Structure 1
Amino acid sequence: MYFAEFFVILLDVGRHSLPKQRRNPSVYLVSALAPAAVFLAVKGDAGPVATIVDEEPVAAPAPAPVVEEQAVPCCVEVVAAPATGAQPALLTDPGSAEIASASLVSASRWRVVDPTLPAGVAPERGLQVRTILTARSISAEFPEINNIGGVRSDYLRWHPNGLALDVMIPNPSSQAGIALGNQIVAYVLGNAKRFGIQDAIWRGVYYTPGGARAGGYGHYDHVHVTTTGGGYPDGDEVYYR
């Protein structure tokens, strides 16, 4: 009996002690808020967490770098590596050795162009200086021309006074002949100021530096060229290209 009453009393004490423990909320509140506080501290601040020492916050020291930074030099000069192959030998010996004949080949390829115009196929007797310049230039530019007439008797003054040329065209009715005559007309008109060109006549067309007009002018086998003359030569003239 005494044992049964002691067990009942012990159970009764246990039932009354558990509610008393539940009535103390501080234990449960602290245990619930501690993880939340840690979570808010981690989410709210990504920096170092302050340490509480004597109730005053002290910042934790910054973590040491994992890898030590190495200093990079300010300026780097890139120097080409020296050639490892053999140096080329001199083409010619600067001493007493004779120069090989092969070294003179390139010199023979140089061509000196004379800036002066030699006499062409036109007889220059009686021609004026601008007419001579035109005749020589045509001969130099069109070597296929082998006949240029100059001074001759005529009822007009151009040929007798040395102001006109007759540039004879090989095969003048062929396509090649017509094309050659056209090129000569274009050439003298393109140099009208230098040659002193007054007019040119070819295949019925009368050409001037200011334009052309067609109809009834003949000249189907040669290009007639008239200059402004410039006076008769005295023998000391030099004609340039």
Structure 2
Amino acid sequence: MGRHALASKRRTSSVLAATVIGPIAVLLASAGDVQPQPVMVEAKPAPMTPVAAVAPCCLEVVSAPDEFVAAPVVAPQEGAQTGPAQLVSSSRWRTAAKPPELLPAGLAPESGLQIKTILVARAISKAFPEITSIGGHRSDPLPWHPNGLAIDVMIPNASSASGIALGNEIVAFVLKNAKRFGMQDAIWRGVYYTPGGPSGGGAGHFDHVHITTTGGGYPTGEELYYR
């Protein structure tokens, strides 16, 4: 075989070897840098505890008949672990008072009287059993009684010490409830009173307490009056 044929044969063998060995070498080189991939495990949510199994944390509500009582706060003792302050007693809320008392018809004839006038007449009848007569609607040169805006609370033994004291108590009662009664004025023993108190002289009225209201309109018959 000549030198040219031998050289040609050697070149062909070298090409075949390179074709086979090359990819293997690349594969081996790449394999040296490959790190194992971590296995991904899907996280499962923790099992939920049934609501019924959770220890309840309850606030006991205790009614307090008088007033709101604030629960004292306990300060941590020296050396104790610090943390949120704790309440040593349950919170207390004032409960609603018993319903107001319904007022029945009083001593004053209510025909012709307006709502606020009826209310004050019934309230005085209930609060002062010593009173036996209350005048209401009547003819008069002034508009108060004819329009159902005024009553006259007759005072037994009005000139006696007990009678004067009783009249004074009724005036004080009306002044105390002036807003609720719609009080416009009162006259007793020559003194004129407004919701702010005495405000000058008034004619007469030594045997009864005269009380004028703002009226509130004439009743329909369906009104309820409370003490």
TM-score class, shorter-chain normalisation, is 0.5 to 0.7
> Are residue 206 (structure 1) and residue 192 (structure 2) matched?
yes
The correspondence for 1:222, drawn from 197, 204, 208, is 208
> Quick check: 1:233 aligned with 2:219?
yes
Q: Structure 2 CA distance, aligned partners of 1:119 and 1:216?
A: 30
User: What is the deviation of 1:189?
Assistant: 0.6
Distance 2:225 2:201 in 1: 35
Q: Which runs of 4+ in 1 moved over 4 A?
A: none
Indicate the RMSD between aligned Cα atoms, in angstroms. 1.5
Could you tell me which residue of structure 2 aligns to residue 169 of structure 1?
155
Cα 1:188/1:216, change in 2 over 3 Å? closer
| Whole-angstrom CA distance in 2 between matches of 1:167 and 1:175 | 17
Which residue number in structure 2 is paired with residue 145 of structure 1? 131
Bigger fraction of residues in helix: 1
Deviation per residue, 1:152-184 (Å, 9 max, x gap): 111110000000000000000000000000000
Determine which of 155, 160, 183 is the counterpart of 2:146: 160
Partner of 1:40: none
Q: Is the 8 Å Cα contact of residues 189 and 205 (structure 2) preserved in structure 1?
A: yes
Offset of 1:113 from its aligned partner? 8.9
TM-score (norm 1): 0.52
State the identity %: 73
Structure 2 unaligned segments of length 5 or more: list them: 1-97
Match of 1:180 among 166, 173, 189: 166
Counterpart code for 1:161: N
Per-residue CA deviations over 1:48-71 (Å, capped at 9, x if unaligned) read xxxxxxxxxxxxxxxxxxxxxxxx
Q: 1:115: how far off?
A: 1.7
Q: Which amino acid aligns with 2:163?
A: G
Give the total of aligned pairs. Answer: 130
- Name stretches of at least 5 consecutive residues in structure 1 with no aligned partner: 1-111
Task: Pick closer, same or farther for the CA change 1:216–1:225 going to 2, 3 Å.
Answer: closer
Give the TM-score of the pair, scaled to structure 2.
Answer: 0.55
Is 2:145–2:151's contact at 8 Å kept on the other side of the alignment? yes
Alignment of 1:64-213 (within 5 A): 115-213=101-199
Looking at structure 1, the residues matched to 198 and 100 of structure 2 have their Cα atoms a distance apart, in angstroms, of: 35
Deviations 1:113-166 (A, max 9, x none): 982100011100000000000000000000110100000111110000000000
> Based on CA coordinates, which of the two structures has the bigger radius of gyration?
1
Alpha-carbon offset, residue 226 of structure 1: 0.2
Alpha-carbon distance in 2 for matches of 1:147, 1:134: 14
- For residues 115 and 170 of structure 2, what CA distance do their matches in structure 1 show? 19
